[in-house]
Amino acid sequence: MAPEAWLIDENDEDQRLPHHRNPKEFVPLSKLREIGVLYWHVDPQNYESNEELKKIREDRGYNYMDILELCPGKVVNYEEKLKNFYREHIHADEEIRYCLEGSGYFDVRDKDDVWIRIWIKAGDMIVLPAGIYHRFTLDTSNYVKLMRLFIGEPVWTAHNRPQEEHPARQGYVKSLMENSGAHAVTAH
């Protein structure tokens, strides 16, 4: 199973709308992998006792966990938080989110700096690599419940674009180049 992902049509419409291009241009999971995005589907029912989730957390060292619910009325400074989530940014570390209920859009920049929109629903777990430019918005359902995971003490600091000098950004760009280099070699 894979999340639906597509290239964005950038226009001034509400950010909660899908922003499909015409015609629609879907993006396969393999393309997301190429830019370092990881994905699992984990049954969101009884997630507390889910063995697969436990294994992912153990394998990747995700010992920190909390739950974030986003909907109007439930969150302090709701509008401001959402505005900040939708501002293009990077982090020094991975961003790991597991959707328990509801849905939302993670937008990530591809290698050519084009926006890809990834539609996350209950059961979708996604890891954005450190240094990737991204942003988040609710969709028109206006509700999401997310598990946030982290290795060690969490740091949620968002570094807004531009961040070309940031070590995490430089490391990410380097990993992209090494990745495409490997493809060029195997193509010969």
Chosen residue from 136, 145, 168, 176 binding ligand KMT by CB under 6 A: 136
Min separation Cβ 91 and Fe ion, Å: 6
Instruction: Find out whether 129 and 137 touch, Cβ atoms under 8 Å.
Output: no
What residue has token string 């989530």? 85
Of these partners, ligand KMT, Fe ion, none, which one is at the site of residue 146 (CB under 5 to 8 Å by kind)? ligand KMT
> Which C-beta is closer to ligand KMT: that of 24 or that of 81?
81
H helix count then E strand count, the chain: 4, 10
Q: How many residues bind ligand KMT (CB under 6 A)?
A: 8
Q: Is 41 annotated as a binding residue?
A: no
Instruction: Find out whether 178 and 35 touch, Cβ atoms under 8 Å.
Output: no
Chosen residue from 57, 97, 117, 169 binding ligand KMT by CB under 6 A: 97
> Is residue 146 near ligand KMT by the rule CB under 6 A?
yes
Instruction: Find out whether 151 and 64 touch, Cβ atoms under 8 Å.
Output: yes
What Rg do the C-alpha atoms of the chain give, in angstroms? Answer: 16
Of these partners, Fe ion, ligand KMT, none, which one is at the site of residue 42 (CB under 5 to 8 Å by kind)? none
> Is residue 85 near ligand KMT by the rule CB under 6 A?
yes
Kindly write down the DSSP assignment for every residue of 25-53, as one continuous string.
Answer: -B--HHHHHHTT-EEEE---TTGGG-HHH
What residue has token string 């629609």? 24
> Which C-beta is closer to ligand KMT: that of 69 or that of 181?
69
What number of residues does the chain have?
Answer: 188
Give the footprint of ligand KMT on this chain (CB under 6 A).
85, 95, 97, 134, 136, 146, 156, 158
Give the footprint of Fe ion on this chain (CB under 5 A).
95
